[in-house]
Chains A and B, each alone.
Chain A
Amino acid sequence: MKIVVCIKQVPDTAGGVKFNPDGTLDRSAMLAIMNPDDKAGLEAALRLKDEYGAEVTVLTMGLPKADSILREAMAMGADNAILVTDRVLGGADTWATSQTLAGAIRNLDYDMIITGRQAIDGDTAQVGPQLSVHLGLPLVSYTQNLKIEDGYVIAERLFDDRHHVLKVKMPCLLTALSELNEPRYMTPGGIFDAFKAPVTVWGRKDLKDTLDSDLGKVGSPTQIAKASDKVRKGAGTLHVAEDGSEGAEYILAKLKEKFII
């Protein structure tokens, strides 16, 4: 079984988000880490490798410094690493990013592609699903507890309060959540081996069946006008209703108070 895991280097938001004066993220002021959902996806792939045997390839598009998350992934147990980097790919939105990744993946043999649900810098959750469309693959998002049965993946798809169990034929694309599992630690020897291992570096010319008009800033239909930190939700109030109609009246009154209705 061959699994491709798409991973992204993102600024670590744990220590707070920093912005440039123009409203864009100040990436240089923040530590760069492997996106948590992607790391969960990698862990899911490595567990399949442990249980069924698999060759795990990690793929990222980014600046040359994204090499470090590829090394980290190999130190955790990934077998191969590919970095797609090229000036013409810069400024990509989700569309251009998924087109780039699709162009890279078309060069590979695979049974399964795993991406993270979303990256903590953009929070769009679009790249995984778009990638499945470009490659014509069935998609199961928000998955956990993956199992393999006769060429099918059995996956639990999470909802807020329940999960569905889905059976999907390979090849397919799955998205993973950081809540899905506890990613394993690297091993000390694995780190040193990872820095000795080759990382395949691809540029624009290596992307298969991809149009220039779908890549980089030129190929990005969306532009970020302004970025801001998440507005935190207020604490809210708890009202225990006497009965259903009193509760409904209370809600209606609140909605009127806020000029919502």
Chain B
Amino acid sequence: MGLLSILRKLKSSPDRELRILLLGLDNAGKTTILKQLASEETTHITPTQGFNIKSVQSDGFKLNVWDIGGQRKIRPYWRNYFENTDILIYVIDSADTKRFEETGHELQELLCEDKLNEVPLLIFANKQDLIGAAAASNIAEGLGLHQIKDRAWQIQACSASSGEGVKDGMEWVCKTVKK
């Protein structure tokens, strides 16, 4: 252990740090995505009271990922975490069709925030493994994503529990920031 950490210190070039904000309704799968990014077990997750934060290395970046609870009671606190955000990741439960309107409304509010002005947006259309999950293209249309002109955006279908699609989304994140 001792030797390894010394080697790591010698090697480490200063990675560029990115502040990533993970938002979405409760039960969208934010914490599962966070755990998936950190290559941690995703089977023991509990609802987030407050927030979780993890730092992960990826593609020459140090990603500081902030996962904020999505419960309605907690949403007013989201704004406390807007400052200096490099990337906004918004997570949607693609099978929870009944709450598409609610999630679309929350997203619209975020896009109007001054502090998130021009911040690139990645949308994870999560839970594609579930029966009845809407396709990413349908969700994009329903949310009117094509009308977004003031920032780079991308929608990525994924299944956080299996990890499928999560990496593709993060590749877009790193690519977008490098530009």
A and B assemble together: no
